[in-house]
């Protein structure tokens, strides 16, 4: 689907660098990584909003930029920010999307009820909370339907209880669909996803299995001219400093992602090269010795 894609903005910022990934039919694929990792830029290229600087993106075998009408018919997209329709009622927007996509109107009530939006169906967009606006975007994507559902942080702005509602609804809806999910939420990824790509500073640095690997140990290697500077930013891992790089060991991927978030916010993220190894050697040794 995505083959060696690089996206450089006019400002010179390389948001994606040589990224490759593939979502198989019927699979729920997740893209994880800290803020600024290039996840949303990648998603926008997959749905045809942005054109890659180099490399290729194919959705159902076609270029999503050149064949936007075809891709829009088969892809439903939930953007990261909870955009809304301030002067329109929830049910009006939902029915409008259903009519545009040829969806039976019975589906409107079914989806709104599943996502706990039927009770606010007559509320205007400006009256909704940020969480309800995000729920409505998920609802509109499900009402529209399609073979590929692209969800950019589907539960951002949503409280924990409503996250559960979204997760259970997506699990019921996944039959016969392919999904690409961008998420920071470890539990969300465990519940929804099959495979996970880890992104950092625009690159894919690792690929893991969501069901068997997310709670296991990892090692992150950061190659940088001043390894001790990198080590000073590691808070949740155990570091070893070598010539030219730092190796940080973690018991859980969640801890590694927290430190990657800190690294991404630092100046060194522009020059550092990140390699994620899964599982770590320390984890294997501890497991084999009965101490893990």
Which tokens is 79 given? 């953007």
For 115-142, what is each residue's pLDDT tens digit? 999 999 999 999 999 999 999 999 999 9
pLDDT at 187: 77
Q: Are 31 and 39 contacting, i.e. CB atoms less than 8 angstroms apart?
A: yes
Q: How confident is the model at residue 107 (pLDDT cuts 50, 70, 90)?
A: very high
Distance from C-alpha of 174 to C-alpha of 139, rounded to nearest angstrom: 14
Q: Compare 291 and 250 and report the one with higher pLDDT.
A: 250
How would DSSP label each residue in the chain? -EEEEEEE-TTS-EEEEEEEE---TT-EEEEE--TTSSHHHHHHHHTTSS--SEEEE-BTTB-TTTTHHHHHHHEEEE-SS----TTSBHHHHHHHHHHHHT--THHHHHHHHHTT-GGGTT-BGGGS-HHHHHHHHHHHHHHH--SEEEEESTTTT--HHHHHHHHHHHHHH-TT-EEEEE-S-HHHHHHH-SEEEEEETTEEEEEEEHHHHTTS-EEEEEE-S-HHHHHTT--SSEEEEETTEEEEEESSHHHHHHHHHHHHHSGGGGT-EEEEESS-HHHHHHHHTT--
Q: What is the assigned CATH class of domain 215-288?
A: alpha beta
Q: Where in the chain is the domain with CATH 3.40.50.300?
A: 2-198
Q: How confident is the model at residue 215 (pLDDT cuts 50, 70, 90)?
A: low
pLDDT at 123: 97
Which tokens is 249 given? 């060991």
Q: Where in the chain is the domain with CATH 3.30.70.860?
A: 215-288
Q: How confident is the model at residue 291 (pLDDT cuts 50, 70, 90)?
A: very low
Q: Are 238 and 248 contacting, i.e. CB atoms less than 8 angstroms apart?
A: yes
Distance from C-alpha of 157 to C-alpha of 45, rounded to nearest angstrom: 24
Q: Is the pLDDT of residue 282 over 50?
A: no
pLDDT at 213: 65
Mean pLDDT of 58-78: 95
Mean pLDDT of 89-106: 96
Half-sphere exposure of 173 (CA within 13 A, CB side): 25
pTM of the complete model? 0.75
For the chain, give the mean pLDDT. 88
From 199, 239, 207, select the one nearest 222 (Cα to Cα). Answer: 239
Per the CATH hierarchy, to which homologous superfamily does domain 2-198 belong?
P-loop containing nucleotide triphosphate hydrolases (3.40.50.300)
How many Cβ atoms from other residues are within 10 Å of residue 191's Cβ?
17
């Amino acid at each position: 689907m995505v083959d060696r894609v690089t996206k450089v903005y006019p400002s010179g910022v390389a948001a994606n660098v040589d990224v490759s990934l593939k979502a198989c039919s019927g699979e729920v694929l997740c893209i994880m990584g800290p803020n600024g990792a290039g996840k949303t830029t990648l998603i926008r290229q997959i749905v045809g909003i942005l054109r890659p600087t180099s490399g290729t993106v194919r959705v159902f075998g076609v270029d999503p930029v050149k064949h936007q009408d075809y891709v829009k018919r088969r892809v439903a997209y939930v953007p990261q920010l909870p955009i809304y329709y301030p002067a329109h009622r929830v049910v009006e927007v939902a029915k409008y999307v259903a009519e545009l996509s040829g969806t039976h109107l019975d589906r409107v009530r079914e989806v709104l009820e599943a996502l706990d939006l039927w009770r606010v169906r007559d509320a205007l967009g400006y009256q909704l909370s940020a969480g309800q606006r995000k729920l409505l975007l998920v609802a509109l994507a499900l009402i529209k339907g399609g073979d590929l559902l692209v969800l950019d942080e589907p539960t951002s702005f949503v409280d924990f209880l409503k996250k559960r509602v979204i997760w259970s609804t997506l699990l019921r809806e996944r039959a016969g669909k392919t999904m690409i999910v961008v998420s920071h939420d470890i539990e969300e990824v465990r519940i929804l996803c099959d495979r996970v790509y880890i992104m950092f500073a625009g690159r894919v640095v690792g690929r893991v299995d969501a069901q068997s690997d997310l709670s296991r140990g990892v090692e992150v290697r950061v190659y940088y001219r001043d390894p001790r500077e990198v080590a000073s930013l590691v808070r949740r891992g155990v570091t070893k400093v070598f010539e030219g790089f730092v190796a940080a060991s973690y018991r859980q991927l969640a801890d590694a992602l927290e430190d990657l978030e800190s690294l991404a916010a630092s100046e060194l993220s522009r020059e550092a090269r990140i390699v994620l190894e899964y599982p770590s050697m320390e984890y294997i040794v501890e497991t084999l010795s009965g101490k893990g």
